[in-house]
Structure 1
Amino acid sequence: MPLNITSAPQGFSAFITNLGIRDNTDDFVFIKSEVPSVADGVFTQSLFAGPSVTISRRNLAGSQAQGIVVISKNANVANGAVGIADAEEILQLVAAETGITAHNLVIASTGVIGRRYPIEKIRAGLSGLGKKLTPADFHAAARGIMTTDTVAKLATRKIGNATLVGIAKGVGMIEPNMATLLTFFFTDAAIPANTLRSIFRPTIDKTFNCLSVDTDTSTSDSAVILANGLAGEVSEQDFAHALQEVAQELVLKIARDAEGATKIIEVTVDSAVNYAQAKKVAKAIVNSPLVKTAVYGADPNWGRVAMAIGKCENEQEINPEQVIIRFDNVKVYPDTLNEENLEQLRQIMSKDQVGIHVSLNIGEAAATVWGCDLSEGYIEINGKYST
């Protein structure tokens, strides 16, 4: 169901359409704020980062933006100077139609790498954009940024008189090195730029940066937030809590919709020396193809978790004799499992969400990460992605 206009953040309008980039589904989304917004963004660290990333990173240097342009089904990556020129032209076209300066716009692009935009179609499709804006339909926007996603991903929370809405796309090529995939947040809360940055970046790090589907970092990862302030000031603590909830809800929706996935995997590592160590070990587990396939088949081969921990060979403080491994509440190491325990483990691994808990017992830090199982469906989707 569309987000109720009365519960949506104030002051945002949108133009969502199909520009003929790949198929008959919407492939262009533009969301505009009535007024310049306090903004922040984090982007992929990929060496092959696309023009959308480099341009948006530049445009957000002043912590302000008034609109976000998203093109799906084409990443516009690895196209050289012409790719940069095409992206800049699109922002200039939107700027001319809306009266917003191009430097006050953010652009994101996702889809096939190495193919140029059908720029003539885009030019034609953007003609008259300024007169086609309507109150922002964030559900439609979430659908418009999809590629191989099967469902639109949206979450929202109230913060006093203000509203926060987040949308995201992503089901594959997900092992973030900053944010992940594409995710955008819009709010009418008034938040100072420094405060927004101090809340937004740690939240992304502990939600989207803790998500992995297939260990591949996208060239186009972008996470951006716009706060136009039209609802007035809110509690910083309440805002941070709402942002955390929205981001985590989107992360779980992505994990559930991941390419070929049938189950979510949640890995918590605690009693680590520091957060970085806990997260590293948790990621080693959730990224292991052998762990993923064991979860897919509900195979109680818990030793694959021990194997994944063992791959973190630089973490010399870890002592296998101190480690405890659990699946939900069933301890699998160092205890010896009998047939009854193994059957319990099969049942746990047959659930829609499988929890793996590792205690290193060498410190007090903890981290939780999310991922999914690995099925034949992943190969089917990605073996035919560009065709």
Structure 2
Amino acid sequence: MSPLNAAVAAQTIPLPAGFRAHSGAAGLREHGDDVFVVVNNGPSAASSAVFTRSLFAGPSVQLSRENAAGGHARGVVVVAKNANVATGEEGMADAREVLERAARAVGVAPEELLIASTGVIGRRYPMPMLRTHLDGLAGAEFDADALALATAMMTTDTHPKTAVVEMTTTTGGTARVVGIAKGVGMIEPDMATMIAVIFTDAAVEPAELDAAFRGAVDQTFNCLSIDTDTSTSDTAIALASGVAGPVDQAELRRAFAAVCLDLTRQLARDGEGATKLLTVEVTGARDREQAKRVAKAILNSPLVKTAVHGADPNWGRVAMAIGKCHEDTDIDPERVRIVFGDLETYPAFPGPAELERLTEIMRAEEVTISVDLGVIESGAGTGECTVYGCDLTREYISINADYTT
């Protein structure tokens, strides 16, 4: 398995064998593509999908949940710049119509397609535009690559996000995993708080694909946070065509984990207004749930995020964030250790020279904060978790203050 820095090194990123895609402009944004359709024409169809748990989940999520249940979805249609959320029965009817027209264009049943939407909440799809666009797909070229698809679904992203990993099949051939993702705001998951689609030409049973994908999502997208807000439309999908042949299950899990981690780090680094990638590692917890809870408390703290942005060596804000987890009574401050990069700040109590070095550490484009809770020392557990986010800047406020205008 070899990761490829596709987003930087390549001008085109072909989808895995068996997939064909069209990306086009329906007119939802002023310039550029805003709708894409991908269909699996391979010998088999395995799929997995996970969705937001928002109470305001949009029609795209509701319909995709139904269609994904059997694990044999053959494709996906994505609409950018309009979430079609909180739009009532009319919005649901619009989403069904989009699915039906897209399915007709690629020759599959509507129940075999998934749908994802992203953009402003509370506005119905501009159906005349979408009808015209989707009805024209029957004679269109389906030659879009992954970079084109990633670009078409951007909203406030500053660049498209792609990742590629190659695997060796059990017969000595090569299979590929290609991932695309978008979403740099409203990121605090009950699932993967963005849209991501992972394609592979490996031959895999739906249950095996689901296990590999969900495991990767849990360790990556579900450990991502930009601003503590959970979106209403978030969808992560995996599709397998079977063209390349079978792969070892452990190899598949590693490949999916690598692609999802790559995309997660790209999403965190491109957080709205972000200038730095912030990684928080927590070890020595009672279990993974506790480690993740503490890590998110640090990552989501506005005071920690602003300190990172300004390279302010105020390491005490991390201690504050840990202290907020007051229901975790097995955390003893005397056992806790806080490290920025390779510099221990607690219980070392840094002096002026160390604080100057801490400032330099926090000026880097990537800042890593490591915390050992010390609960393991009491024999209670060995949980650990790493989460990913970014700093909080004035630009974040500007972007979201003017988002719909």
User: Do the two structures share a fold, i.e. TM-score over 0.5?
Assistant: yes
1:26 CA drift (Å):
1.0
Counterpart of 1:371 (choices 374, 383, 389) is 389
Match in the other structure for 1:340: 353
Counterpart of 1:110 (choices 108, 118, 123) is 118
1:256 CA drift (Å):
1.0
The answer (yes or no) to whether the contact 2:13–2:147 under 8 Å persists in 1 is: no
The answer (yes or no) to whether the contact 2:186–2:193 under 8 Å persists in 1 is: no
CA displacement 1:198-230 (0-9 Å, x = unmatched): 111121011000000000001011000000111
2:160 and 2:103 mapped to 1: Cα distance? 28
**Residues 75 and 4 from structure 1, CA distance in 2 versus in 1: closer, same or farther, beyond 3 angstroms?**
closer
The answer (yes or no) to whether the contact 2:23–2:144 under 8 Å persists in 1 is: no
Secondary structure of 2:263's aligned partner: helix
The answer (yes or no) to whether the contact 1:211–1:370 under 8 Å persists in 2 is: yes
Per the normalisation by structure 2, the TM-score is: 0.93
Secondary structure of 2:179's aligned partner: strand
Gaps of 5+ in 2: 1-9, 169-173, 377-381
Match in the other structure for 2:276: 263
Match in the other structure for 2:11: 2
Paired residue type of 1:365:
G
2:280 and 2:49 mapped to 1: Cα distance? 27
The answer (yes or no) to whether the contact 2:186–2:227 under 8 Å persists in 1 is: yes
Counterpart of 2:307 (choices 294, 301, 306) is 294
Counterpart of 2:38 (choices 10, 27, 31) is 31
Per the normalisation by structure 1, the TM-score is: 0.98
**Residue 98 (str. 1) matches residue 106 (str. 2):** yes
Match in the other structure for 2:154: 146
The answer (yes or no) to whether the contact 1:14–1:137 under 8 Å persists in 2 is: yes
1:4 CA drift (Å):
4.8
Secondary structure of 1:111's aligned partner: coil
2:72 and 2:40 mapped to 1: Cα distance? 11
The answer (yes or no) to whether the contact 1:175–1:214 under 8 Å persists in 2 is: yes
Give percent identity, aligned residues only.
50
1:98 CA drift (Å):
2.0
Paired residue type of 1:60:
A
2:296 and 2:161 mapped to 1: Cα distance? 23
State the aligned residue count: 385
RMSD of the alignment, in Å? 1.0
Superposed, 1:150-299 pairs within 5 Å as 150-160=158-168, 161-299=174-312
CA displacement 1:62-120 (0-9 Å, x = unmatched): 00111110001000000010110000000111122222000000000000000111101
1:270 CA drift (Å):
0.1
The answer (yes or no) to whether the contact 1:13–1:133 under 8 Å persists in 2 is: no
CA displacement 1:25-81 (0-9 Å, x = unmatched): 211011111145200000000000000101001101100111110001000000010
**Residue 308 (str. 1) matches residue 308 (str. 2):** no
1:128 CA drift (Å):
2.7
2:51 and 2:295 mapped to 1: Cα distance? 22
